[in-house]
């Protein structure tokens, strides 16, 4: 990663799904970032977003390495 690295949206799902996928990515040394507008809205006094629409981002250069992990994850969940 360098200063020019860019995050891309990798998966959208429930917080539990995102946390499970994030563990799988971490096991393969792929960093990720969670964006949860629902929790952010609650903390700031607004209600926005949906608890089932949490977003997981990865670095663009990790997409090729992360894609098989996502496919296995979806297969496990029958998505």
Q: Which of 79, 7, 27, 21 is nearest to 54 (CA)?
A: 21
User: Do the domain assignments include residue 1?
Assistant: no
The domain in which residue 13 lies consists of: 7-77
> Do residues 64 and 79 touch, judged by C-beta distance below 8 A?
no
Q: Does any domain span residue 33?
A: yes
Q: Is residue 23 part of a domain?
A: yes
pLDDT the model gives residue 13? 94
The CATH number of the domain where 59 resides is what?
Answer: 3.30.70.1530
Residue 65 is assigned to a structural domain of this protein: yes
In a domain, 41, yes or no: yes
Q: Is the pTM of this model over 0.85?
A: no
Number of Cβ atoms within 10 Å of the Cβ of 75:
9
What pairs with residue 14 in β-bridges? none
Any domain includes 18: yes
Domain count, the chain: 1
Q: What is the pLDDT of residues 12-64, one digit of tens each?
A: 999 999 999 999 999 999 999 999 875 544 444 555 555 568 999 999 999 99
The tokens of 74 are what? 């979806």
């Amino acid at each position: 990663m360098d200063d020019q690295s860019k995050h891309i949206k990798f998966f959208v799902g429930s917080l539990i799904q995102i946390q499970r996928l994030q563990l799988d990515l971490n096991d393969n040394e792929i960093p990720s970032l969670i964006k949860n507008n629902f929790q952010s809205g609650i903390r700031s006094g607004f209600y926005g977003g949906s608890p089932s629409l949490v977003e997981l981002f990865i670095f663009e250069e990790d997409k090729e390495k992360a894609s098989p992990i996502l496919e296995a994850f979806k297969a496990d969940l029958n998505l």
